Copies of this chain bind each other. A is one copy, B any other.
Amino acid sequence: MLHHYEAPVEDLLFTMREVAGLHDVLALPAFDMCDEALVQAVLEQAARFASDALAPLNRSGDREGARLDGAEVRMPAGFQAAYASYVEAGWGGLAADPEYGGQGLPRLLWTAVQEMWKAANLGFSALPQLTLGAVEALMAHADEALRQRFLPRLVSGHWTGAMALTEPQAGSDLSAIGALATPHADGSWRLVGQKCFITYADHDLAENVVTLVLARTPGAPAGVKGLTLFLVPKWLVDDDGRLGARNDVRYHSLEHKLGFHAGPTGILNFGDAGGAVAYRVGALHNGLPAMFVMMNDARFSVGLEGVGLADRAWQQARAYAHERVQGRSAGSPASVPIVQHPDVRRMLLTMKALTEAMRAFAAVLASARDLGSAHPDAGECARQQRQVDFLTPVFKGWCTETGVVVANLGIQVHGGMGVVEETGAAQYLRDARAATLYEGTTGIQAADFVGRKLARDQGQAAHAVLAQMRDTVDVLGGIAAPAFATLQRDLRRAVEALANATDSALAQHARQPAAALAVSVPLLELWGTVIGGWLLAHGACRAHALRQDPSRPQRYGAAFLDAKVATARFYGAHLLSRATGLADIVCEGAAACLDDAATL
Closest to A166 in B: B416
CB distance A419 to B434 under 8 Å? yes
Using an 8 Å CB-CB cutoff, how does the interface string of A556-600 with B read, 1 for contact, 0 for none?
Answer: 000100110111011011100111111011001111111101111
Using an 8 Å CB-CB cutoff, how does the interface string of A412-435 with B read, 1 for contact, 0 for none?
Answer: 100110111110001001100110
User: Provided the pairs A345-B594, A421-B256 are in contact, do residues A172 and B327 lie with their beta carbons within 8 angstroms?
Assistant: yes
Q: Which one, A107-115, A118-126, A336-344, is touching chain B?
A: A336-344
CB distance B437 to A514 under 8 Å? no
Q: Which one, A200-208, A278-286, A359-367, A441-449, is touching chain B?
A: A441-449
Write out the residue numbers on chain B whose beta carbons fall within 8 Å of the beta carbon of A346: 518-519, 521, 593
CB distance B443 to A419 under 8 Å? no
Interface of A is mostly: helix
CB distance A421 to B563 under 8 Å? no
Does A143 count as interface, using CB distance less than 8 angstroms?
Answer: no
Closest to A327 in B: B173
CB distance A343 to B521 under 8 Å? yes
Does A517 count as interface, using CB distance less than 8 angstroms?
Answer: yes
CB distance A343 to B447 under 8 Å? yes
Residues of A253-287 whose CB lies within 8 A of B: 255-260
Using an 8 Å CB-CB cutoff, how does the interface string of A316-354 with B read, 1 for contact, 0 for none?
Answer: 001001100111111000010001011111111100100
Does A408 count as interface, using CB distance less than 8 angstroms?
Answer: yes
A255 CA to B567 CA, complexed, in Å: 36
Does A520 count as interface, using CB distance less than 8 angstroms?
Answer: yes
A119 CA to B430 CA, complexed, in Å: 22
CB distance A258 to B419 under 8 Å? yes
CB distance B335 to A176 under 8 Å? yes
Q: Residues of A within 8 Å of B, CB-based: how many?
A: 101
A441 CA to B346 CA, complexed, in Å: 14
Write out the residue numbers on chain B whose beta carbons fall within 8 Å of the beta carbon of A255: 420
CB distance A426 to B258 under 8 Å? yes
A339 CA to B326 CA, complexed, in Å: 47
Q: Least Cβ distance of A81 to chain B in Å? A: 27
CB distance B600 to A345 under 8 Å? yes
Does A211 count as interface, using CB distance less than 8 angstroms?
Answer: no
Closest to A451 in B: B330
CB distance B437 to A343 under 8 Å? no
Q: Least Cβ distance of A449 to chain B in Å? A: 12
CB distance B416 to A438 under 8 Å? yes
Residues of A61-112 whose CB lies within 8 A of B: none
A408 CA to B408 CA, complexed, in Å: 11
Does A53 count as interface, using CB distance less than 8 angstroms?
Answer: no
> Quick one: which of B172, B420, B581, B598 contacts A579, CB cutoff 8 A?
B581
From A348, A433, A580, A597, name the one whose CB has the most chain B CB atoms within 10 angstroms.
A597
A289 CA to B255 CA, complexed, in Å: 49
> Quick one: which of B256, B318, B559 contacts A420, CB cutoff 8 A?
B256
Write out the residue numbers on chain B whose beta carbons fall within 8 Å of the beta carbon of A344: 443
A582 CA to B433 CA, complexed, in Å: 25
Does A171 count as interface, using CB distance less than 8 angstroms?
Answer: yes
Using an 8 Å CB-CB cutoff, how does the interface string of A237-265 with B read, 1 for contact, 0 for none?
Answer: 00000000000000000011111100000
Write out the residue numbers on chain B whose beta carbons fall within 8 Å of the beta carbon of A329: 514
User: Provided the pairs A574-B592, A577-B582 are in contact, do residues A415 and B171 lie with their beta carbons within 8 angstroms?
Assistant: yes
8 pairs, CB–CB < 8 Å, chain A vs chain B: A172-B415, A173-B328, A342-B515, A342-B594, A416-B438, A559-B599, A573-B591, A577-B582
Q: Which residues of A contact B (CB under 8 A)?
A: 166, 169, 171-173, 176, 196-197, 255-260, 318, 321-322, 325-330, 335, 339, 341-349, 352, 404, 408, 411-412, 415-416, 418-422, 426, 429-430, 433-434, 436-438, 441-443, 446-447, 483, 486, 513-515, 517-522, 559, 562-563, 565-567, 569-570, 572-574, 577-582, 584-585, 588-595, 597-600
20 more A-B residue pairs beyond the given contacts A345-B594, A580-B581, with a C-beta to C-beta distance below 8 A = A166-B416, A171-B326, A197-B416, A260-B419, A329-B514, A341-B517, A342-B518, A345-B600, A346-B593, A349-B600, A411-B437, A426-B433, A486-B588, A559-B599, A562-B597, A570-B598, A573-B588, A573-B589, A574-B593, A577-B581
